[in-house]
């Protein structure tokens, strides 16, 4: 398991209030974050949604929920995830489309198919696919 300690583990975080466990998102929103969040998955992992029929490759991780309040409130309350867990950005695919998804850790499972993800943006972010995961392009790691 990978450990994320906000904010340094996330490229979109702009600053940290060191007197508390809050960080500022790129949009300037103050977001409460646990001192340490355990990420179960890593960038390049292929995962499947626990409730809905889609899979994808992780290309970014938020240590806690960092999307809009409107997005969060649009999720039916009986399946709304906790905010205090990692959220993953996926290049996702379903049977009939490709899109970007934002999914809580509690709703992701390892993908058992072992195959690559058919999303048009995969070649822009990743170099190779081997052993069920992608390797991030070297030009993006520097």
Least confident of 3-7, 21-25, 49-53, 126-130: 3-7
Q: Supply the CATH classification number for the domain 41-140.
A: 2.30.30.390
**Number of neighbouring beta carbons within 10 Å of residue 117:** 21
Residue spans per domain, the chain: 41-140
Q: 132 vs 75, 128, 129, CA distance in Å?
A: 30, 10, 7
Contact 24, 15 (CB under 8 A): yes
**Residue matched to tokens 């103050």:** 30
CA separation for the pair 28, 49 (Å, rounded): 30
The model's pTM is: 0.75
Q: Distances in Å between the alpha carbon of 51 and those of 44, 80, 132?
A: 21, 12, 21
* Amino acid 32: pLDDT: 61
Over residues 23-74, the pLDDT tens digits come to 555 456 665 655 556 899 999 999 999 999 999 999 999 999 999 999 999 9
Q: Tell me the three state secondary structure of residue 122.
A: helix
């Amino acid at each position: 398991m990978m450990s994320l300690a906000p904010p340094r583990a996330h490229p979109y975080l702009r600053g940290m209030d060191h007197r508390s466990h809050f960080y500022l998102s790129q949009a300037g929103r103050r977001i409460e974050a646990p001192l340490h969040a355990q990420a179960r998955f890593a960038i390049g992992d292929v995962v499947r949604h626990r409730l809905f029929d889609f899979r994808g490759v992780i290309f970014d991780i938020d240590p806690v929920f960092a999307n809009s309040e409107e997005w969060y409130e649009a999720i039916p309350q009986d399946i709304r995830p906790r905010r205090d867990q990692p959220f993953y950005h996926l290049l996702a695919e379903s049977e009939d489309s490709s899109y970007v998804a934002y999914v809580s850790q509690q709703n992701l499972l390892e993908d058992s198919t072992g195959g690559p993800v058919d999303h048009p943006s995969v070649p822009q972010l990743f170099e190779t696919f081997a052993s069920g995961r992608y390797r991030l392009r070297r030009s993006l790691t520097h």
